[in-house]
């Protein structure tokens, strides 16, 4: 009979998930004749009742794991992780952890994303990958390119490749200066800047080294873009808008605004000083005159003189680098190797510098003529943008100019991108439109 009891016990295991076990089993002696069978069933029931809490705990664990698997699978879909097994995902997490980008103990996400929740069905929890502010709209992923588009009040609208999102920058301020780059690009072009992994370090470094005078010029050009006519006022939300220039925080932007106001270049409207309203500024006549530049009567707006080494190794740097950058920004480049002159070349050079709105001086090759032309332009009050090939910069730079910011480049494509962005940031779009 004991054997029969053991065989019948599995039946009660099946019923245990639905019925109260102990009460049913304890009433069976009045029905079942065999006392030994009853004793075996009672013992089986007692063992079963002790197993129920452990079984419930196991079921709860399974459900939780299933939910985590579902969330992880959804996160992989959003982020572009094509792994199909737990083992594959663990390998992916381990590889990312080796680079310092992901944590193996949490669902895959980038260091850049900080506390950002990837799940697209919870847009209120999504945050900027660069400054950790809440996004203005849900993140969009292009399933063809795997690029991610984000829209932030502080950093503007920008895109990041999946590789860039998973790769942290060296240093603590890398993503901060990338936020300045994306916001200024959005202000200039009204198009999102695409951040690629190979460009991140150089992009952040360029915006981290902006001088005080360059930030002042950037701020004045921001006024010009936002108020093309003197009657238009410019509103500033200093909590977010300090990234329209390369300012570290709100206080630095307020420093520049106060400087321009004390210099008589801008004024703040009285109602804009109220604590509950955003400050509103406008350019004064002196501010408009400052934007036009010194000796503006002799300068032609949109005309740019290019001083550089006329060597065959520099032909591509001019044609596909400097010239392309200026034309893309709306400016007419003037280079003496493209100009036919019957007059003395020296007088022609000086005349062209006088006519130029500003000057590009590439110091690659350390040519004396380039330094002379840059110095003459400075004496006239013209802005000079210095550039140099990266592998020659330490050799060709001169101590008289090394305190100026130099845009270094490795390829003509690098030069085009960096110079165009700098010209647009400091001078704004030029008046010319060239066929692309």
- How does DSSP assign 265-325, residue by residue? SEEE-GGGGSTTS--EEEE-HHHHHHHH-TTGGGPPTTEEEEE----GGGHHIIIIIIHHH
**Same domain flag for 169 and 244:** no
pLDDT above 50: residue 228: yes
- Are 423 and 303 within one domain? yes
Q: Which of 208, 239, 261 is the last residue of a domain?
A: 208
**φ, ψ of residue 10 in degrees (nearest 5):** -60, -30
User: Does residue 31 fall inside a structural domain?
Assistant: yes
Contacts of 312 (CB under 8 A, 6+ apart): none
Transcribe 176-214 into DSSP letters.
HHHHHHHHHHHHHHSSPEEE-GGGHHHHHHHHHT--HHH
Taking only the tens place, the pLDDT of each residue in 244-281 is: 999 999 999 999 999 999 999 999 986 655 556 788 99
Q: Are residues 418 and 354 both part of a single domain? A: yes
Q: What percent of the chain is predicted at pLDDT more than 70?
A: 66
pLDDT (0 to 100) of residue 256: 96
Q: Which long-range contacts (CB under 8 A, 24 or more apart) does 19-25 make?
A: 21/45, 21/48, 21/49, 21/52, 22/46, 22/49
Within a domain: 350: yes
Clarify whether residues 351 and 278 are in a common domain.
no
Mean pLDDT computed over 295-315: 84
The per-residue pLDDT for 61 is 45
Least confident of 24-38, 96-110, 159-173: 96-110
Clarify whether residues 261 and 360 are in a common domain: no
CATH code for position 252: 1.10.10.10
With respect to residue 132, please indicate whether it lies within any of the assigned structural domains: yes
Specify whether 381 is located in the same domain as 315: yes
The count of structural domains within the chain is 4
The range of the structural domain enclosing residue 273 comes to 212-292
Residue 152 has pLDDT above 90, yes or no: yes
Kindly tell me if the per-residue pLDDT of 308 is higher than 50: yes
- CA 321, CA 315: separation in Å to the nearest integer? 9
At residue 341, the pLDDT reads: 54
On the question of pLDDT at 104 being above 70, the answer is no
Q: 208, 240, 269 — which closes off a domain?
A: 208
pLDDT tens per residue across span 89-101: 333 333 333 334 3
pLDDT digits (tens, 9 = 90+) for 4-35: 454 555 555 555 444 444 444 444 444 444 44
Q: In this predicted structure, what is the pLDDT of residue 339?
A: 66
Residue 311 has pLDDT above 60, yes or no: yes
Q: Are residues 193 and 268 in the same domain?
A: no
Residues 255 and 353 in one domain: no
Give the separation between CA 146 and CA 120, rounded to whole angstroms. 15
- What pLDDT is attached to residue 17? 46
Q: Is it the case that residue 55 has pLDDT exceeding 70?
A: no
Whether residue 108 lies inside any domain: the answer is: no
Same domain, 201 and 157: yes
pLDDT for the residue 178: 92
**pLDDT by residue (tens digit) across 352-410?**
898 899 999 999 999 988 999 999 999 888 899 999 999 999 888 887 777 888 999 99
Task: Answer whether residue 315 shows pLDDT above 60.
Answer: yes
Q: What pLDDT does residue 92 have?
A: 34
Q: Are residues 224 and 187 in the same domain?
A: no
pLDDT value of residue 183: 94
- Both 310 and 392 in one domain: the answer is yes
Any domain includes 107? no
Question: Which long-range contacts does 151-156 make (Cβ < 8 Å, 24+ apart)?
Answer: 152/128, 152/179, 153/240, 154/128, 154/179, 154/183, 154/240, 154/243, 155/128, 155/130, 155/131, 155/179, 155/182, 155/183, 155/243, 156/182, 156/183, 156/184, 156/185, 156/186, 156/187, 156/192, 156/193, 156/243
Query: Is the residue at 274 inside a domain?
Result: yes
Where is pLDDT greater, at 120 or 351? 351
Question: With 90 as the cut, is the pLDDT of residue 147 above it?
Answer: yes
Higher pLDDT, 63 or 386: 386
* Overall average pLDDT of the 212-223 stretch: 88
Q: What is the pLDDT of residue 161?
A: 93
HSE of 154, CA atoms in CB hemisphere, 13 A: 25
d(CA 89, CA 376): 62
Average pLDDT taken over every residue of the chain: 74
- Residue 373 belongs to domain with CATH number: 3.40.50.450
How much is the average pLDDT of 309-327?
Answer: 94
The residue with greater pLDDT, 299 or 210, is 210
Of the candidates 220, 219, 263, the residue with the CA atom closest to the CA atom of residue 242: 219
222 plus 146 within the same structural domain: no
Asked if residue 242 belongs to a domain, the reply is yes
- Domain boundary (208, 224, 251) is at 208
256 versus 230: which is more confidently predicted?
A: 256
Strands 383-389 and 358-362: parallel
- The pLDDT-based confidence of 124 (bands split at 50, 70, 90) is confident
Q: Is 35 within the bounds of a domain?
A: yes
């Amino acid at each position: 009979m004991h054997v029969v009891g053991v065989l019948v016990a599995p039946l009660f295991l099946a019923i245990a998930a639905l019925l109260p076990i102990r009460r049913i089993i304890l009433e069976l002696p009045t029905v079942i004749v065999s006392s030994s069978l009853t004793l075996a069933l009672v013992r089986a029931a007692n063992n079963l009742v002790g197993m129920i809490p452990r079984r419930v705990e196991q079921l709860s664990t399974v459900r939780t794991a299933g939910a985590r698997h579902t969330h992880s699978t959804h996160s992989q879909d959003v982020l572009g992780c094509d792994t199909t097994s737990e083992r594959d995902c663990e390998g992916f997490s381990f590889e990312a952890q080796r680079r310092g980008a992901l944590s193996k103990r949490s669902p895959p996400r980038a260091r850049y994303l900080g506390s950002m929740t990837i799940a697209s069905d919870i847009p209120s929890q999504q945050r900027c990958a660069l400054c950790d502010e809440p996004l203005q709209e849900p993140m969009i992923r292009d399933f063809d390119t795997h690029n991610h588009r984000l829209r932030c009040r502080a950093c503007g609208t920008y895109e990041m490749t999946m590789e860039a999102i998973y790769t942290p920058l060296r240093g603590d301020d890398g993503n901060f200066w990338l936020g300045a780059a994306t916001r200024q690009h959005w202000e200039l072009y009204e198009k999102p800047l695409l951040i690629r992994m190979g460009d991140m370090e150089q992009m952040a470094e360029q915006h981290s080294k902006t001088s005080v005078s360059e930030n002042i010029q950037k701020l004045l050009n921001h006024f010009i873009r936002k108020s093309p006519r003197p009657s238009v006022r410019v509103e500033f939300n200093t909590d977010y808008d300090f990234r329209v220039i390369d300012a570290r925080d709100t206080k630095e932007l307020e420093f520049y605004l106060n400087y321009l106001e004390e210099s008589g270049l801008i004024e703040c409207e009285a109602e804009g000083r109220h604590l509950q309203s955003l400050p509103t500024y406008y350019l004064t006549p002196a501010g408009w005159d400052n934007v036009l530049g010194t000796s503006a009567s002799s300068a032609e707006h949109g005309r740019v003189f290019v001083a550089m080494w006329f060597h065959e190794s520099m032909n591509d740097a001019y044609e596909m680098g400097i010239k392309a950058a200026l034309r893309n920004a709306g400016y007419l480049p003037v280079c003496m190797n493209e100009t036919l002159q019957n007059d003395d070349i020296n007088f022609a050079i000086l005349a062209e510098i006088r006519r130029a709105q500003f000057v590009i001086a590439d110091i690659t090759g350390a040519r004396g003529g380039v330094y002379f032309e840059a110095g003459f332009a400075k004496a006239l009050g013209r802005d000079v943008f210095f550039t140099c090939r990266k592998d020659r910069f330490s050799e060709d730079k001169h101590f008289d100019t090394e305190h100026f910011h130099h845009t270094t480049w490795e390829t003509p494509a690098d030069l085009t991108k960096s110079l165009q962005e700098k010209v647009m940031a400091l001078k704004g779009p030029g008046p010319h439109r060239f066929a692309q």
